[in-house]
Amino acid sequence: MAVQAPRRIEILMVEDSPSDVLITREALRGSKLINQLHVVEDGEEAMAFLRQQGNYAGAPRPDLVLLDWNLPRKSGKEVLEEVKSDEHLKLIPVVILTASKAEADVLKAYGLHANAYVTKPVGFESFVELVSTVSHFWFSVVTLPTT
């Protein structure tokens, strides 16, 4: 019986902060996962990527979406609402990764079926640890659908 090589994990990060993207890339590079981090900077680009439209016609289906709540052009709330109401996208886990600690945002995110709501820590090391923990949980602990 041949042993299958581990498959590459596709992660879509929807984030308008270049420093948060850089930290996330570093944290994922240090993980034991074979992954590809795709980054878009606003909610409209996120939906184009997820629907494989325009410049993203050949984009892979992500295994996980890391979604900032406060985005330009289309908010994280609007993106989450669209993803979770779309039959072709709703099974993709969406983790809200945001600076907002507002209870109203937490309630709204879970009400729209976010899979997790995580507040970004301030320090570099804490942020790296958070990204490592999130990736370990979603790709080593949880069983995800393969569709």
Range of the domain at 129: 9-137
Query: Tell me: the pLDDT tens digits for 41-86?
Result: 999 999 999 999 999 999 999 999 999 999 988 999 999 999 999 9
Q: How far apart are CA 46 and CA 95, in angstroms?
A: 14
Predicted pLDDT at 43: 95
Q: Is the pTM of this model over 0.75?
A: yes
Kindly report the CATH number assigned to the domain that includes residue 25.
3.40.50.2300
142 in a domain, yes or no? no
Percentage of the chain surpassing pLDDT 90? 58
Cα torsion 56, 58, 95, 20: sign: negative
Q: What backbone phi and psi angles, to 5 degrees, belong to 135?
A: -65, -40
Q: What is the mean pLDDT of the chain?
A: 88
Residue 68 placed within a domain: yes
Domain-embedded: residue 32? yes
In a domain, 1, yes or no: no
Q: How many domains does the chain have?
A: 1
Average pLDDT over residues 17-42: 85
> pLDDT confidence of 6, banded at 50, 70, 90?
low
pLDDT > 60? residue 129? yes
Residue 2 belongs to some domain of the structure = no
Does residue 120 fall inside a structural domain?
yes
